[in-house]
Amino acid sequence: MAKSRHQELGLTDEKVLDMYRTMLRARKIDERMWLLNRAGKIPFVISCQGQEAAQVGAAYALNLEEDYAAPYYRDMGVVLAFGMTTRDLFLSGFAKAEDPNSGGRQMPGHFGQKKNRILTGSSPVTTQLPHAVGVALAGKMEKKDFVSFVTLGEGSSNQGDFHEGLNFAGVHKLPVITMVENNKYAISVPLDRQVASETVADRGKSYGMPGYQVNGNDPLDVFAVIKEARERAVNGEGPTLVEAITNRLTAHSSDDDHTAYRDKEEIEEMKKNDCIMLFSEYLKEQGVLTDDAETAMMKEIDDEINDATEYAENAPYPEPTDALKYVYAEEGGE
Amino acid sequence: MAQMTMIQAITDALSTELKNDEDVLVFGEDVGQNGGVFRATEGLQEEFGEERVFDTPLAESGIIGMSVGLSTQGFRPVPEIQFFGFVYEAMDAVSGQAARMRYRSGGRWHAPITIRSPFGGGVHTPELHADSLEGLMAQQPGLKVVIPSNPYDAKGLLISSIRENDPVIFLEHMKLYRSFREEVPEEEFTVDLGKANVKREGKDITLIAYGAMVHSSLKAAEELEKENIDAEVIDLRTVQPIDVDTIIESVMKTNRAVVVQEAQRQAGIAASIVSEIQERAILHLEAPVLRVTAPDTVYPFSQAEEVWLPNYEDIIEKAKQSINF
Ligand SMILES: Cc1ncc(C[n+]2csc(CCOP(=O)(O)OP(=O)(O)O)c2C)c(N)n1
Ligand SMILES: [Mg+2]
């Protein structure tokens, strides 16, 4: 029998099911966050919906035990793959003291977890990119084999930090993989008002690295490019820029109304090409997933989300006085 | 006259100047079709066209740097920084370039740019979306820094800022955007930059504030009145340059002052007002000039916001401390 696409890529049936589960977890966590937001329980949501295929496809091509991630705010799929738990994410959504991103100090979507090598990020877009380049430089100097993986939106690829960071990475042939999740909007501003080059991938050329455009709606396509990029990185061949074409299925955030700048048909069309649905169809065609197994998987995820929601909702908030801590080193601290 | 919120007064001022002067341009992230994330530019692109009201790519340094170039060609750019914390991305363009164009060219060029931006705490936005960075701006010679506390002033000050021939940082406190309405003339009018406003007259103590803290100070003054303390409240309106004359005149009358700012304590506007007062009126003082400020920490998470931000009770406490000195 001819090998399936995932087998060609060296992915077992189990592995692709696991990828699907991670995509689904990201989606369902995000959906719950919206419900909680609308119920007035969590302050803000900024969604991964529509981008899970790119995020999970990429993350599974990395070494999840050693590589570093500098994700951006939509990367629920990346951080789940890197080891954040559903509880972690709800603790952050509710801004509770136990939130591993920041102890409830940062808004949802501002990921960071030292133990899983997820760099703490901040609100100004693209600031994570030079950080990731610095991590890669350190890795190269210390002859470690990890790669540094950084993501951002296409609008964010117009910031100086993008160009400065990639150029440095190119000059020094650093093991850094940059993935631009191109969902074609930066809040309301469409791609053609943002980016002058034909593709974002084209921008790699100026910085001495290959730039690949890939269908970000297909986790296997993304997996393949990132895998190759990782090999190049660990072989000392330098950085890679990947542009994953994705969709943002929701408004920019819970504070935005996207019907002000995109029409209904466009939104409907995107929903017909939902990456979760497409991957589910693929797995079923391949006989890797059945309807029953999928139902069971959903149930398991729902239970996990219910548990995490309840846990996080009941967890204590940080004390207001905690806001005074960690401006400088604490006495006796590092 | 019309009843306007501060955000409506701002839109109205922009529209007034777009109408008055074809060199006025309004641009920034999401300001065009979307009308701005706070809706400050709502309807302006429709009315004035895409050439004069437009979306920029997501790149603040470019937005302000380009404004410098436009201003050398006779335009009056009014760029928006989506949240003032993102001005860090453009600090060189603002402080290193726009502010110094006049000086550096020996007066041959100048940069009539008005950078508008939302800032301020109390609306549950996190750090960088709430920071009070006016002290940082005020420290840069060449910039003027304007902070309205109400819809009327917002319109008059914004029109003045746009007409001003030096760069102005126009900071819009998010908590005031829609918190109340007041009468604002529909026709054009200006409020002078660099002129404070005595919002409430009093003889016992002077409370000096700007932005949202003007309202906390007025509330404190009302409460103090119940205890027979008659407080004067000054709204600075412009924090660079500071209207020192108005402050000194008041302090010479009341002999006591408390300076209130939402920003952290270190190196701020309040500190420089205290210095001005002691340099010019020390012999008129019956008590040290006190400050009400936020603590010297990063802007906190939402749960801590109410505790962290200065409020009218803190102002009352300091006022009494001054009175009882
Ligand atoms: C420096 C900076 N400027 C402005 C913003 C406000 N902002 C947050 S997300 C965003 C749009 C980002 O678009 P894109 O890079 O395409 O990513 P997407 O949200 O579409 O995934 C903007 C303007 C910000 N966070 N940082
Ligand atoms: Mg985008």
Rounded to an integer, what distance in angstroms lies between the CA atom of residue A246 and that of residue B224?
Answer: 59
Q: Are residues B232 and B121 part of one domain?
A: no
Q: Is residue A334 part of a domain?
A: no
Element (H, E) at A160: helix A160-171
Could you report the per-residue pLDDT of B123-146, keeping only the tens digit for each?
999 999 999 999 999 999 999 999
Q: Collect all residues of chain A within an 8 Å Cβ-Cβ radius of residue B88.
A: 124
Could you report the per-residue pLDDT of A183-233, keeping only the tens digit for each?
999 999 999 999 999 999 999 999 999 999 999 999 999 999 999 999 999
Nearest Cα to Cα of residue A301 among A100, A12, A26: A26
Whole-number pLDDT of residue B303: 86
- Mark whether A261 is an active-site residue: yes
Which residue is catalytic, options B110, B124, B129, B284?
B129
- The closest residue, in CA terms, to atom 6 on ligand 1 is B82
Q: Within the 84-103 window of chain A, which residues sit less than 8 Å (CB to CB) from chain B? A: 95
Using pLDDT thresholds of 50, 70 and 90, give the confidence band for residue B31: very high
CA distances from B46 to A17, A26, A276, B4, B41 (A): 49, 39, 38, 21, 10
Whole-number pLDDT of residue A218: 98
Q: Is residue A332 part of a domain?
A: no
At B87, which CATH number? 3.40.50.970
Whole-number pLDDT of residue B1: 82
Q: Collect all residues of chain B within an 8 Å Cβ-Cβ radius of residue A156.
A: 58
Cβ of residue B28 closer than 8 Å to a chain A Cβ: no
Whole-number pLDDT of residue B165: 98
Domain count, chain A: 1
Ligand 1 pocket, A186 CB below 6 A? yes
Q: Is residue A140 part of a domain?
A: yes
Q: Are residues B212 and B140 part of one domain?
A: no
Res B95 pLDDT > 80? yes
The number of the ligand 1 atom at minimal distance from the alpha carbon of A126 is 1
Whole-number pLDDT of residue A334: 72
Rounded to an integer, what distance in angstroms lies between the CA atom of residue B145 and that of residue A223?
Answer: 50
The number of the ligand 1 atom at minimal distance from the alpha carbon of A124 is 26
Q: Collect all residues of chain B within an 8 Å Cβ-Cβ radius of residue A327.
A: 296-298
Mean pLDDT of B29-55: 97
DSSP class of residue A149? E
Percent of chain B with pLDDT over 90: 99
Of B184, B213, B238, the last residue of a domain is B184
At B205, which CATH number? 3.40.50.920
Residues of the domain holding A100 = 5-325
Neighbour-count burial for B134-155, b at 16+ CB within 10 Å, e otherwise:
bbbbbebebbbbbbbbbbbbbb
Q: Is residue B49 part of a domain?
A: yes
At A62, which CATH number? 3.40.50.970
Percent of chain B with pLDDT over 70: 100
Rounded to an integer, what distance in angstroms lies between the CA atom of residue A57 and that of residue B19?
Answer: 52
Q: Are residues B165 and B106 part of one domain?
A: yes
If you write DSSP's letter for every residue of A278-332 in order, what string do you get? HHHHHHHHTTS--HHHHHHHHHHHHHHHHHHHHHHHHSPPPPGGGGGSSSSPPTT
Q: Are residues B180 and B37 part of one domain?
A: yes
Q: Are residues B161 and B229 part of one domain?
A: no
Query: pTM to 2 decimals?
Result: 0.96
Of B157, B184, B211, the last residue of a domain is B184
Mean pLDDT of B167-185: 98
Pair of tokens at residue B227 = 């205890």
Could you report the per-residue pLDDT of B223-233, keeping only the tens digit for each?
999 999 999 99
Q: Are residues B260 and B145 part of one domain?
A: no
Res A2 pLDDT > 90? no
Q: Are residues B135 and B248 part of one domain?
A: no
Q: Are residues B201 and B151 part of one domain?
A: no
Whole-number pLDDT of residue A332: 75
Whole-number pLDDT of residue A254: 96
B32, B57, B126 ranked by CB distance to A107: nearest: B126
Q: Collect all residues of chain A within an 8 Å Cβ-Cβ radius of residue B296.
A: 327
Q: Is residue A56 part of a domain?
A: yes
Block residue for tokens 């190196």: B267
Backbone angles phi, psi at B80, to 5 degrees: -110, 135
If you write DSSP's letter for every residue of B273-309 in order, what string do you get? HHHHHHHHHGGG-SS--EEEEE-SS----HHHHHHHS
CB neighbours of B192 closer than 8 A, spacing ≥ 6?
B160
Q: Are residues B154 and B69 part of one domain?
A: yes
- A188 and B297: CB-CB below 8 Å? no
Pair of tokens at residue A131 = 């950080």
* Cβ pair B268, B293 in contact under 8 A: yes
Q: Is residue B274 part of a domain?
A: yes
User: Chain A to chain B, count of Cβ pairs less than 8 Å apart?
Assistant: 101
Res A41 pLDDT > 90? yes
Q: Within the 18-47 window of chain A, which residues sit less than 8 Å (CB to CB) from chain B? A: 43
Whole-number pLDDT of residue A22: 98
CB atoms inside a 10 Å sphere around CB B202: 19
Mean pLDDT of B72-78: 97
Domain count, chain B: 2
Chain B residue whose CA is closest to A327: B297
- How confident is the prediction for chain A on average, in pLDDT? 96
Mean pLDDT of B174-202: 98
Q: Is residue A333 part of a domain?
A: no
CA distances from A284 to A1, A287, A328, B232 (A): 17, 5, 54, 75
Q: Are residues B173 and B33 part of one domain?
A: yes
Res A84 pLDDT > 90? yes
Cβ of residue B300 closer than 8 Å to a chain A Cβ: yes
Rounded to an integer, what distance in angstroms lies between the CA atom of residue B72 and that of residue B59?
Answer: 21
Higher-pLDDT residue of B150, A330: B150
Res A275 pLDDT > 90? yes
Mean pLDDT of B4-13: 98
Ligand 1 pocket, A229 CB below 6 A? no
Terminal CA-CA length for chain B: 46
Residues of the domain holding B73 = 2-184
Q: Are residues B150 and B55 part of one domain?
A: yes
Q: Are residues B177 and B104 part of one domain?
A: yes
DSSP class of residue A92? H
Of B117, B152, B184, the last residue of a domain is B184
If you write DSSP's letter for every residue of B224-252 in order, what string do you get? HHHTT--EEEEE-SEEES--HHHHHHHHH
- The closest residue, in CA terms, to atom 24 on ligand 1 is A124
- Mark whether A252 is an active-site residue: yes
- B302 and A43: CB-CB below 8 Å? yes
Rounded to an integer, what distance in angstroms lies between the CA atom of residue A44 and that of residue A110?
Answer: 11
Whole-number pLDDT of residue A274: 98
Q: Is residue A330 part of a domain?
A: no
Could you report the per-residue pLDDT of B264-308, keeping only the tens digit for each?
999 999 999 999 999 999 999 999 999 999 999 999 998 899 999
Nearest Cα to Cα of residue B42 among A250, A191, A262, A260: A260
Q: Is residue A145 part of a domain?
A: yes
CB neighbours of B140 closer than 8 A, spacing ≥ 6?
B94, B95, B99
Rounded to an integer, what distance in angstroms lies between the CA atom of residue B71 and that of residue B59?
Answer: 19
